[in-house]
Structure 1
Amino acid sequence: MLTIELTGLRFHAFHGLYKEEKKIGGDYEVNVTIQHLPKKLPVVHIDETIDYTVVYNLINELMQKPEPLLETVASLIASEILRKFSHAETVSVSVTKLNPPIIAFQGSVGVKCVLNRESEK
């Protein structure tokens, strides 16, 4: 099993329930882990693995589509990765809102979605 990781991806996006979030947006961090079993090792060609530039472009596209809930964003990213890469077995996506609009709150909030190919059938 090989694991592909994209970590610390930063985006300015417009997800959220509140009017201000939809208007001015917020900063987000996305982390993705993809597990797949290549047909052979060592992997010597990009077609034998998960192209992380394609994964990044997919994440970037989905992050630009406003959604009210982070749960929706994380599950859409995970589902699309499984759909796009037939050899991906398990996908874990965490989406973190770095400065949520909560009065007197310091920190971040986030969600994690883990999907595997068997659960998507």
Structure 2
Amino acid sequence: MVSIELHNLRLHAFHGLYEGESKTGSAYEVNLKASYNEESTQFDDIRNTINYVDVFEIVKRCMAIPTPLLEKVAEGIIRRIKHQFPFVAEVVISIYKLEPPIENIQGKIGITMRKEWER
């Protein structure tokens, strides 16, 4: 199995349930790993792999759509990756809100979602 990984992607987005979040937005960090079985590929054509540039564009587009819950954002990213790369076997994504609107909190909060398909 081969995995492509995108780590520590920093994006500004407008996700959240609280009133101010949809107006000012927040900084987010995204980590993503997408895996596929390489049994028949020769690694000589980008079309036979998961192109990390295309995956980054998917992440950017989905993060640009204001959504109340990070779970919904992660689900949309995974769905689009599977649609564009039908041979993908597994996607793991973590999305962190770097400055959560929680009084006296230091650190980041977020979710991790994993989806696996049988081939």
Task: Give me the TM-score of the superposition, normalised by structure 2.
Answer: 0.94
In angstroms, what is the RMSD of aligned CA positions? 1.1
Task: Quote the offset at 1:74 in angstroms.
Answer: 1.1
Task: Quote the offset at 1:38 in angstroms.
Answer: 2.4
Task: Quote the offset at 1:25 in angstroms.
Answer: 0.2
Task: Quote the offset at 1:83 in angstroms.
Answer: 1.6
Which residue matches 1:88?
A: 88
Cα displacement string for residues 84-103 of structure 1 (whole angstroms, at most 9, x for unaligned residues): 10110100010000010001
Aligned structure 1 segments of 4 or more residues deviating by more than 3 angstroms: none
Structure 1, unaligned runs of 5 or more: none
Give, in whole Å, the separation in 2 of the partners of 1:20 and 1:67.
Answer: 13
Which one-letter code corresponds to 1:25 in the other structure? G
Task: Quote the offset at 1:41 in angstroms.
Answer: 4.9
Task: Give me the TM-score of the superposition, normalised by structure 1.
Answer: 0.92
Task: Quote the offset at 1:9 in angstroms.
Answer: 0.7
Which residue matches 2:5?
A: 5
Q: Which SS does the other structure have where 2:31 is aligned?
A: strand
Which residue matches 1:54?
A: 54
Cα displacement string for residues 76-119 of structure 1 (whole angstroms, at most 9, x for unaligned residues): 1112111210110100010000010001111110101101124x
Give, in whole Å, the separation in 1 of the partners of 2:114 and 2:80.
Answer: 12
Asked if the contact 2:41–2:48 (Cα under 8 Å) also holds between the matched residues in 1, the reply is no
- Give aligned pairs, total: 118
Which residue matches 2:109?
A: 109
Structure 2, unaligned runs of 5 or more: none
Greater share of helix: 1
